[in-house]
């Protein structure tokens, strides 16, 4: 049975790249009627960020995804949190020592630091452990252990070997073993390093396929050695292209740019749009189709169509376009419901009072949604329907060439005479056009002045839609206040 996994480390926010890893592994498992495992790799205690596991699980579920085995749901290989499995890793580390594939190292952090500094001073770019402790006699090792000397356990990398592997995406990759450091497997705090933890758990949890970011490619030869030494079969593994900003030619750094999934959701990207965008970061069906639901993605996903390039562009414009598309596709009432749920979930303040269940809100959504690229755009696009706009008088004068008082006065007069029943978009459109024609005004000066006076904005949906929705009383009140 196919079994894939996503093995995040709770060292910060959940990034777009991690969501891609999750989606691809999820789709691969589902497509092959397999299982998808979520495992928390929290062995780096120094980089551990409190609360990040909970936030990550919450975001994954918010996006409508789930896992067959893992935290909260359990499964046959529980626990799925590495810090709860420490004894296990230690046993395998000791087994490797016993079999002469690993060794105790008693070097202090200070000695190691000096060793690295010396190597750098000699021009060595990739410093390596100098194997001092490999020559300790077994008596010395026993003595040190008996004296409770702190130790790590290191992998004894075989010399003069080419380690070869066939990546699912990149094809054949060769690594000279002499380039590899004698990697620490077990740290002095008793925690495994990523390399030991990941190999032990992928094996014990029956993982058959691994898709992960290219930043892990350099770790793969160490894992290959561990699988061989432990007598286990390595899962089929593929490395996904790194992400870059559009126009850049190097990998996107986590420190720059805003690529946390939570941030995008909080800014008002719909999960379905965000997921659709992420699916295409390194995978393409080979057709024109670019709108994908998760179900369609599972149906069409194949590893063969993952790009084997180094980098794929993270095109924020395309994401915004896709999000706008998904927003426009929602029915007005549904979009109101989504706005409400979004504001509640992320504690978004609109800055004005709006009842998103009201007919008025549905009406406003109807006319502004074509302009929304994020849910957050609602605030800017709709505010003047719910709160009095600030009308900048200097800017107002610009649209009318200084003639705003007369124009507004004339509109005021015209609209005062319209009965409440006749206050409908078509009628307003008709009488207003007649009126400007008779008075020799251009549509631009007349309607821009009117638009700015009632909304405080220079760009709005069609002006008569706006007037219709605002209602007669509000329109008259705003025209009057803009005149004074
Ligand atoms: N814990 C690693 C991470 O944070 C997992 C890498 C892998 O998939 O092997 O992404």
For residues 6-17, average pLDDT: 93
One domain for residues 108 and 187:
yes
One domain for residues 475 and 459:
yes
CATH number, domain at 439? 1.10.10.350
379 found inside a domain: no
Residue-wise pLDDT for 285-294, tens only, equals 999 999 999 9
Q: Is 254 among the annotated ligand-binding positions?
A: yes
One domain for residues 358 and 444:
no
Q: Which atom of ligand 1 is nearest to the CA of 11?
A: 4
pLDDT confidence of residue 96 = 98
One domain for residues 360 and 420:
no
Host domain of residue 419: 388-484
Span from the CA of 81 to the centroid of ligand 1 (angstroms):
13
One domain for residues 430 and 465:
yes
One domain for residues 394 and 482:
yes
Which residue's CA lies nearest to atom 5 of ligand 1?
7
Q: Which residues are catalytic?
A: 254
The number of distinct structural domains making up the chain is 4
Residue-wise pLDDT for 427-459, tens only, equals 999 999 999 999 999 999 999 999 999 999 999
CATH number, domain at 55? 3.40.50.620
Mean pLDDT rounded to a whole number for the chain: 96
Span from the CA of 10 to the centroid of ligand 1 (angstroms):
10
One domain for residues 90 and 189:
yes
For the chain, percent of residues with pLDDT exceeding 70: 99
213 found inside a domain: no
Q: Which atom of ligand 1 is nearest to the CA of 219?
A: 9
CATH number, domain at 98? 3.90.800.10
Residue-wise pLDDT for 462-473, tens only, equals 999 999 999 999
One domain for residues 282 and 357:
no
* Mutate-to-test residue for ligand 1 from 21, 212, 240, highest number of ligand atoms within 8 A of CB: 212
Is residue 428 lining ligand 1, measured as CB closer than 6 Å?
no
234 found inside a domain: no
* Confidence check: pLDDT of 258 > 60: no
pLDDT confidence of residue 255 = 57
206 found inside a domain: no
219 found inside a domain: no
420 found inside a domain: yes
Span from the CA of 7 to the centroid of ligand 1 (angstroms):
5
One domain for residues 268 and 299:
yes
Q: Which atom of ligand 1 is nearest to the CA of 9?
A: 4
Residue-wise pLDDT for 171-230, tens only, equals 999 999 999 999 999 999 999 999 999 999 999 999 999 999 999 999 999 999 999 999
222 found inside a domain: no
What predicted TM-score, i.e. pTM, was given to this entire model? 0.93
Residue-wise pLDDT for 42-89, tens only, equals 999 899 999 999 999 999 999 999 999 999 999 999 999 999 999 999
For residues 287-305, average pLDDT: 97
Is residue 41 lining ligand 1, measured as CB closer than 6 Å?
yes
* Mutate-to-test residue for ligand 1 from 6, 8, 82, highest number of ligand atoms within 8 A of CB: 8
Structure token digits, residue 210: 């691994």
Span from the CA of 164 to the centroid of ligand 1 (angstroms):
21
One domain for residues 451 and 474:
yes
Q: Which of 374, 403, 432 is the last residue of a domain?
A: 374
Span from the CA of 9 to the centroid of ligand 1 (angstroms):
7
Is residue 238 lining ligand 1, measured as CB closer than 6 Å?
no
Residue-wise pLDDT for 114-173, tens only, equals 999 999 999 998 999 999 999 999 999 999 999 999 999 999 999 999 999 999 999 999
One domain for residues 154 and 185:
yes
Which residue's CA lies nearest to atom 3 of ligand 1?
8
3 found inside a domain: yes
One domain for residues 325 and 395:
no
């Amino acid at each position: 049975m196919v079994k894939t996994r996503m093995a995040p480390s709770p060292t910060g926010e959940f990034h777009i790249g991690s969501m891609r890893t999750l989606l691809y592994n999820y789709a691969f498992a589902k497509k092959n009627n397999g299982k998808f495992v979520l495992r928390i790799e929290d062995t780096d205690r120094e980089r551990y960020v409190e609360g990040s596991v909970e936030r990550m699980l919450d975001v994954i579920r918010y996006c409508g995804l789930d896992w067959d085995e893992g935290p909260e749901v359990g499964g046959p290989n529980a626990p799925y949190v590495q810090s709860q499995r420490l004894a296990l890793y230690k046993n395998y580390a000791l087994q490797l020592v016993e079999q002469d594939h690993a060794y105790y190292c008693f070097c202090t952090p200070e000695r190691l630091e000096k060793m690295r500094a010396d190597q750098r001073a000699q021009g060595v770019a990739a410093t390596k452990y100098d194997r001092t402790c490999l020559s300790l006699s077994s008596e010395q090792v026993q003595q040190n252990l008996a004296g409770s000397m702190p130790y790590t356990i290191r992998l004894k990398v075989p010399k003069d070997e080419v380690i070869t592997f066939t990546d699912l995406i990149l094809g054949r990759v060769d690594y000279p073993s002499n380039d590899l450091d004698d990697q620490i497997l077990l740290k002095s705090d008793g925690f495994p390093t990523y390399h030991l933890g990941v190999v032990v758990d992928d094996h014990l949890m029956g993982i058959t396929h691994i898709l992960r970011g290219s930043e892990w490619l350099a770790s793969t030869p160490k894992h290959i050695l561990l699988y061989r030494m432990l007598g286990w079969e390595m899962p089929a593994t593929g490395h996904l292209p790194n992400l870059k900003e559009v126009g850049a030619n190097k990998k996107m750094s986590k420190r720059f740019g805003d690529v946390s999934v939570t941030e995008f959701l909080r800014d008002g990207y719909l999960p379905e749009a965000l997921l659709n965008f992420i699916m295409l970061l390194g995978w393409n069906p080979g057709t024109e189709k670019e709108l994908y639901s998760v179900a369609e993605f599972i149906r069409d996903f194949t590893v063969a169509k993952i790009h084997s390039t180094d980098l794929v562009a993270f095109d924020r414009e395309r994401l915004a376009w896709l999000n706008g598309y998904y927003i426009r596709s929602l029915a007005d009432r549904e979009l109101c419901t989504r706005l409400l749920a979004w504001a509640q979930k992320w504690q978004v303040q609109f800055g004005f009072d709006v009842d998103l269940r009201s007919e008025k809100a549905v009406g406003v959504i109807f006319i502004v949604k074509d302009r929304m690229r994020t849910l957050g755009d609602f605030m800017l696009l709709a505010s003047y329907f719910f709160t009095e706009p600030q009308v900048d008088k200097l800017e107002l004068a610009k649209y009318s060439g200084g003639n705003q008082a007369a124009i507004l006065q004339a509109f005021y007069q015209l609209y005062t005479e319209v009965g409440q029943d006749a206050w409908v978009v078509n009628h307003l459109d008709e009488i207003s056009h007649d009126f400007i024609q008779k008075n020799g005004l251009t549509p631009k000066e007349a309607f821009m002045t009117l638009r700015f006076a009632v909304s405080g904005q220079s760009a709005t949906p069609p002006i008569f839609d706006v007037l219709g929705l605002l209602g007669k009383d509000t329109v008259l009140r705003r025209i009057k206040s803009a005149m004074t």
